[in-house]
Amino acid sequence: MRNKNLIIVLTVIVSALCLYYLSFSLVARNVQQDAEAYATDAQGNVDLARRQAYIDSIWREPVFMGLTYQEVTENQLGLGLDLKGGMHVVLEVSPVEIVKSLAGNSKDPDFLKALDRAQEMQKNSQERFTTLFAQAYREINPDSRLSRIFSTSANRGRISYESTDEEVLDVINQEVEDAIDRSFNIIRTRVDKFGVNQPNIQRLEGTGRIQIELPGIDNPDRVRRLLSGMANLEFWEVWSPEEFSPYFMQLSQYLDQQESAGKLNLNTDALASASDNSAIVTDATDDVLAQAAVADSAVTDSTGLASTAVPAQNPADSAALDSLTTAQQGGVLARLFTQMPGGLGANVRDTAKINEIFSRAEVRAIFPSNMKFFWGVKPLEGQNRQQFVEFYAIKKGRNGRAPMSGDAINDARQDFDQSGRPEINMTMNPNGSKKWARLTGDNVGRQIAIVLDNYVYSAPVVQGEITGGNSSITGNFTIEEAQDLANILKAGKMPAPTQIVEESVVGPSLGQEAINQGLISTLAGLALVIIFMIAYYSRGGFIADLALLFNVFFILGVLAQFNAALTLPGIAGIVLTLGMAVDANVLIFERMREEAAKGLSIREVINKGYDKAFMTILDANVTTFLVGFILYFFGSGPVKGFAITLMIGIVTSFFTAVFISRLFVEGAFKKGGKLSFSTALTDRMFRNITFDVMKYRKPAYAFSLAVIVLGFVAMFINGGPNLGVDFRGGRSYIVNLDQTVPASDVRSALLDEFQNAGTEVKTYGTNNRLKITTSYLADDASLEADEQVETALTQGLAQYSNLNPQILSSSKVGATMADDVQNRALIALALSLIGIFIYVMIRFRKWQFSLGGVVALLHDALMIIAIFAILDLIGISYEMDQVFIAAVLTIIGFSINDTVVIFDRVREYMNDNPRLHVREVVNPALISTFSRTIITSLTLFLVVLVLFIFGGEVLRSFSLAMLIGVIFGTYSSLFIATPIVVDTVKEQKQPVASVKVAQQAR
């Protein structure tokens, strides 16, 4: 063996590195066990606060080789969200607001129509929004140029009136990219300060999206608020009740007249339940009235603002409110609004109706153009558990903007006031300090509203001018809310709104279950391969098993070195690698058996076996690695985790099978002087096999075509493929109940709540666990829609409250995100086929080999899809999702691996016999590689079968697709790929009998 010493040194170095990085995981696990023991009482109950206190106490203490526990956890092999529990989020930065801002918030009708049209077009297009906007604008106003809208004073020097549309688009695109970058940095700052262990934040290149993974999160609502908030902090002057009451009296008269005329119905659908506050109220120019949401507060400082949560009123204001409520007794307004200590307010259940009323043009016309409205941020408790939210009339400035914004804030931090209540201290920059002094000085005795993202956090009365630029926000905060608010203010204002277009939440109990399933499937698969290899190859199989154990060790070690997280699909990748790693050893051992049959010495057998198998193994691994790379590049979430593990596994399996196993083989030979690669039973297997593939090629073509056609007919009958949420959009929930409930009964209970939207309910793993998928509000990615769907789910399950329904996990994919995932899946499939076609053509120098290989791969993909559709027709339903696509692409890698081995033997025979036509060498090549084909396919099939049985419901679709793919991948290598090569290669004029080749095969 050449370079033997280099291989030994490299093996020792890699092993040492893997051992070093894996040791961090062992140390971290020991510390966690110590924390568990410290927090466990005599009855076995774990005090989570005490456990966290223990971890906090050693967080910055050295625990391993001078490294702190914090540094150890940062370097350990982390667990993915599906194993540890947590939250996966994809945020999309909206370019609409950026375009509006660049246009100076133009009210040009054509501009606004183009924006609306572009948003509609984007639902069914993967083009950039800016491109669609330009296209829509040209359609609406073909004689105008974009520069007419965008040549504002703010854009001077970048866009002039003479600028072409292309030049304007370049500026807009650059601004959008800058906004995404700024949003990414702000999100990263917020998450870094959130205190999550090993968060993963990355930009999804080519899109306006940001992917965030937060392991161990147990408060998804808090994360949603943290990520979606724009941090648009504003300070507004407030209309006093004395000033706005005359307008409300006019409104009261108008509403009473409308009700008398039958044009106003307070019992319409617009009157939402207490959980539905998603409507928007508009004033003369802006969408400004939003729902109550997060936390109540008041602003105070040591010099000038009222310290109470409810602002004081002067007598005139109180008299104005009394006269207003007296005048509207019995009227519509009296049923919608109520007098609160700080002014007007409303019952939370009536806010949606109020929003609908204030959105009417005739209602907006009643109020002055400089009056706009906001809701208070948090409902206050009233009698009989009723909740009320305050309603504020805000005074707009001359330019319609707030007198002061969050740009004035230089720093913000969470602290405690003199009473020990959480507060946020704000420090203003010099310019902000001057504005703050002027604003407070001009409004002594009046309210100033502190508004964040269109919610009034407080509206205290100014007691005197405030100088120095220091203020604080205090009130009814929890410590977490105060920390998050300070974090948001310090990180800065988002340049554009963001919305969650994809979300997945996995509970810790489901994660622990996944760990158990993954561990069982991995150990069972490993044991199966070890036993099989020893049973078939005797002592050679034992050596292959040693190389296999090194392979698993290297995979985990490399994952730890790259600071990657081990996911459930990643475990599937390891299990799959176990099966595929056997293939290289099988190729080598089968070659050795062939050489031994020629009577060569054991030394020559070893050398020729490894040398002849090397290029075949390399070709097979390169094609599979290519598929893994494409999966990684175009996949997301679980697919990326699978692809990373698969690629690492391919590299490590090549190294262990080709080099490390040879060290063991040569060492065993040197020690014993002989080496066996078969048992008495297996030595006689696959002997004297004869079959004519070409004889059965046409029946094989007909069979495959029939199955594929039947599958697509079944798909048509089913109303289309059974796509998962990530392909069609919508929301899905895993719900656990104490007892079994028929899925059809649960679906019937949910249909009314989901307003008869497409809803699917099926058992998930165990009989008392259900997966509920719905397209209700699939086009709405807002947080309000999330809450509305979850509320509808909770209400629908209310009749099963005695069975303690619990949501174990949830996921959401927006409609545009689903379209993008579909397109990326198709692109990945196409690129895999193209890449393999090119590689095979380069390696085998005939396009016919590429054609045969690619047609066989396409055949395998279609067969999997067809059989899924047929199974769905007979009631065995599995979703086609991203993990399913990963399985299809993996089968493509496996199938081309098998096909390349056969092609390699065909090429070898043709090189040895250049006058032979490919038809003469096909059968001998297939016969000589038949044992390898069957052994490899059988081993992989058994490993995937273990994954199907023990891998859990999450990987059920994946493993079923793999089982089907292994069967038909082997079938296509024999009866599709090679016959196509024969059918497309031209006959030679003087074919020579293939006796010599047949003898070689035997």
Is 510 a residue whose pLDDT tops 80?
Answer: no
Q: Among the three residues 223, 256, 271, which one is the final residue of a domain in this structure? A: 223
What's the pLDDT score for residue 313?
52
CATH number at residue 268: 3.30.1360.200
Same domain, 897 and 794: no
Q: How many CA atoms lie within 13 A of 216 on its CB side?
A: 10
Lowest mean pLDDT among 221-230, 403-412, 927-936: 221-230
Give a yes or no: residue 661 inside a domain. Answer: yes
Q: What are phi and psi of 763, to 5 degrees?
A: -65, 150
* SS3 state at 375: strand
Mean per-residue pLDDT over the chain, rounded = 77
For the chain, what is the total number of helices (H) and then of strands (E)? Answer: 35, 27
The residue type at 272: A
Give a yes or no: residue 921 inside a domain. Answer: yes
In terms of average pLDDT, the best of 79-88, 118-127, 277-286, 966-975 is 966-975
What's the pLDDT score for residue 198?
63
Same domain, 454 and 470: yes
What's the pLDDT score for residue 318?
61
CATH number at residue 992: 1.20.1640.10
CA distance 389 to 338: 10
The residue type at 37: A
Give a yes or no: residue 161 inside a domain. Answer: yes
What's the pLDDT score for residue 866?
92
Count of CB atoms within 10 A of residue 440's CB?
Answer: 24
Is 258 a residue whose pLDDT tops 90?
Answer: no
CATH number at residue 754: 3.30.70.380
Give a yes or no: residue 355 inside a domain. Answer: yes
More confident residue, 384 or 470: 470
Same domain, 119 and 179: yes
Rounded mean pLDDT of 417-428? 79
Tell me the C-alpha to C-alpha distance, in Å, between residue 324 and each of 232, 252, 334, 768, 941: 33, 9, 9, 56, 78
Lowest mean pLDDT among 454-468, 672-686, 831-845: 672-686
Our CA angle for 795, 798, 802, nearest 5°, is 160
Tell me the C-alpha to C-alpha distance, in Å, between residue 137 and each of 52, 148, 173: 57, 12, 16
Give a yes or no: residue 723 inside a domain. Answer: no
Q: Supply the range of the domain harboring residue 743.
A: 730-809
Same domain, 368 and 251: yes
Q: How confident is residue 286, by pLDDT bands cut at 50, 70 and 90?
A: very low
CA distance 889 to 576: 13
Rounded mean pLDDT of 368-387? 79
Rounded mean pLDDT of 953-963? 81
Same domain, 563 and 525: yes
Is 859 a residue whose pLDDT tops 70?
Answer: yes
Is 65 a residue whose pLDDT tops 60?
Answer: yes
More confident residue, 388 or 312: 388
Give a yes or no: residue 872 inside a domain. Answer: yes
Residues of the chain with pLDDT > 70, as a percent, come to 82
What's the pLDDT score for residue 116?
87
Rounded mean pLDDT of 233-255? 86
What's the pLDDT score for residue 295?
30
Rounded mean pLDDT of 673-700? 72
Same domain, 707 and 855: yes
| End-to-end Cα separation, the chain, in angstroms | 29
Is 348 a residue whose pLDDT tops 70?
Answer: yes
What's the pLDDT score for residue 684?
67
What's the pLDDT score for residue 299?
38
Rounded mean pLDDT of 793-814? 82
Q: Among the three residues 53, 76, 99, which one is the final residue of a domain in this structure? A: 76
Is 63 a residue whose pLDDT tops 80?
Answer: yes
CA distance 595 to 608: 7
Rounded mean pLDDT of 79-83? 71
Rounded mean pLDDT of 714-739? 81
Q: How confident is residue 702, by pLDDT bands cut at 50, 70 and 90?
A: very high
Q: Among the three residues 52, 76, 100, which one is the final residue of a domain in this structure? A: 76
In terms of average pLDDT, the best of 18-22, 256-260, 315-319 is 18-22
Is 836 a residue whose pLDDT tops 70?
Answer: yes
Residues of the chain with pLDDT > 90, as a percent, come to 2
Rounded mean pLDDT of 359-367? 87
CA distance 286 to 270: 21
CA distance 275 to 272: 8
Give a yes or no: residue 814 inside a domain. Answer: no
What's the pLDDT score for residue 710?
93
Same domain, 195 and 117: yes
Q: What are phi and psi of 447, to 5 degrees?
A: -85, 145
Count of CB atoms within 10 A of residue 829's CB?
Answer: 20
Is 148 a residue whose pLDDT tops 60?
Answer: yes
Rounded mean pLDDT of 962-985? 87
Residue whose pair of structure tokens reads 């309000």 in the numeric block: 784
What's the pLDDT score for residue 319?
63
Same domain, 753 and 857: no
Whose CA is closest to 656, among 6, 5, 171, 7?
A: 7
- pLDDT tens sequence across 294-338: 233 333 343 344 433 334 455 556 666 666 666 556 677 778 888
In terms of average pLDDT, the best of 131-135, 154-158, 677-681 is 131-135
What's the pLDDT score for residue 37?
86
- pLDDT tens sequence across 400-412: 788 888 777 777 7
Q: Where are the alpha helices (DSSP H) in 951-994?
A: 956-972, 978-984
Rounded mean pLDDT of 578-593? 78
Same domain, 874 and 934: yes
Is 273 a residue whose pLDDT tops 60?
Answer: no
Q: How confident is residue 490, by pLDDT bands cut at 50, 70 and 90?
A: low
More confident residue, 791 or 270: 791
Is 706 a residue whose pLDDT tops 90?
Answer: yes
- pLDDT tens sequence across 642-668: 788 888 888 888 888 888 888 888 877
Is 195 a residue whose pLDDT tops 80?
Answer: no
Q: How many domains does the chain have?
A: 5
More confident residue, 363 or 998: 363
Same domain, 746 and 837: no
In terms of average pLDDT, the best of 24-33, 208-217, 598-607 is 24-33
Is 274 a residue whose pLDDT tops 90?
Answer: no
Same domain, 453 and 537: no
Same domain, 213 and 249: no
Give a yes or no: residue 250 inside a domain. Answer: yes
Tell me the C-alpha to C-alpha distance, in Å, between residue 592 and each of 533, 612, 900: 15, 9, 19
What's the pLDDT score for residue 407?
74
Rounded mean pLDDT of 838-851? 83
